[in-house]
Amino acid sequence: DAEITQSPRHKITETGRQVTLACHQTWNHNNMFWYRQDLGHGLRLIHYSYGVHDTNKGEVSDGYSVSRSNTEDLPLTLESAASSQTSVYFCASEAGTGGTYEQYFGPGTRLTVT
Amino acid sequence: DAKTTQPTSMDCAEGRAANLPCNHSTISGNEYVYWYRQIHSQGPQYIIHGLKNNETNEMASLIITEDRKSSTLILPHATLRDTAVYYCIVKEYGNKLVFGAGTILRVKS
């Protein structure tokens, strides 16, 4: 069955280190998204991509970057990890029929920056 | 996209129907109503969406009022596994999902 996976599921890193979170989907969806979820803020959009070589900033993009070199993967990079980036990160991909889209979410990555 | 208003929390007895309301009084003609849920520590899960007609799938039913200013998600026979945060989102085709606080549904035995 097609799916969306994230790795690692848990990560502890130190302030200032570069960290990359992986997201891989096997639906061949063009659209992919990264969200973070914190208590009191709900899910917030970080970056998104509508296809290979396309990337866009979301609501909370500072300190994060993405690249899209193929359809299946959208890795999220924290250039220099900060304690404020401790969060749960969710990746999603988007299907569509008849012009309406539903997103499918991965299981999440819990990141702790110490 | 129009904003939505949902109750903070609701309780439902196991086996009974769970009816989750959502107000979206400023919805425009091109905006769809989507429902997602998030079970503890998992990624959000798509449930159902609609434009103006009532919709039903294997998970739930969506009832949209004729003026489209409110809707109700119905889980016909709630189980303990339906305990989750339920998000009602209104968005236009091509726009991005914006998650609010949602409704915490507690299904009790």
B57 touches chain A (CB under 8 A): no
Q: What is the mean pLDDT of chain A?
A: 93
- pLDDT at residue A92, as a whole number: 96
**Quick one: what percent of chain B has pLDDT higher than 70?**
98
CA dihedral A110, B1, B7, B12 (to 10 degrees): -70
Contact B96 A58 (CB under 8 A): yes
CA dihedral A43, A59, A11, A3 (to 10 degrees): 60
A100 has pLDDT over 70:
no
Select from A100, A103, A106 the Cβ nearest to the Cβ of B97: A103
- pLDDT at residue A62, as a whole number: 97
> Which residue in A has a C-alpha nearest to residue B102's C-alpha?
A42
**Chain A residues within 8 A of B98 when measuring between CB atoms:** 45
**Chain A residues within 8 A of B46 when measuring between CB atoms:** 102-104
- pLDDT at residue B92, as a whole number: 82
Contact A33 B49 (CB under 8 A): no
Mean pLDDT for the stretch of residues A96-107: 77
Residue B12 banded pLDDT, cuts 50, 70, 90: very high
**Which amino acid, one-letter code, is at A22?**
A
- pLDDT at residue B1, as a whole number: 67
pLDDT tens string B27-68: 988 899 999 999 998 999 999 999 998 999 999 999 999 999
- pLDDT at residue A98, as a whole number: 54
A interface test, pick of B40, B55, B99 with most A CB neighbours within 10 Å: B99
pLDDT tens string A7-55: 999 999 999 999 999 999 998 898 999 999 998 778 999 999 988 999 9
Q: What is the mean pLDDT of chain B?
A: 94
Closest CA to A87 of A49, A113, A52: A113
Closest CA to B25 of B7, B53, B55, B5: B5
B81 has pLDDT over 80:
yes
A89 touches chain B (CB under 8 A): no
CA distance A16 to chain B (A): 27
B91 has pLDDT over 90:
no
> What contacts B89, CB < 8 A, 6 or more positions away?
B1, B4, B33, B34, B35, B36, B97, B98, B99, B100
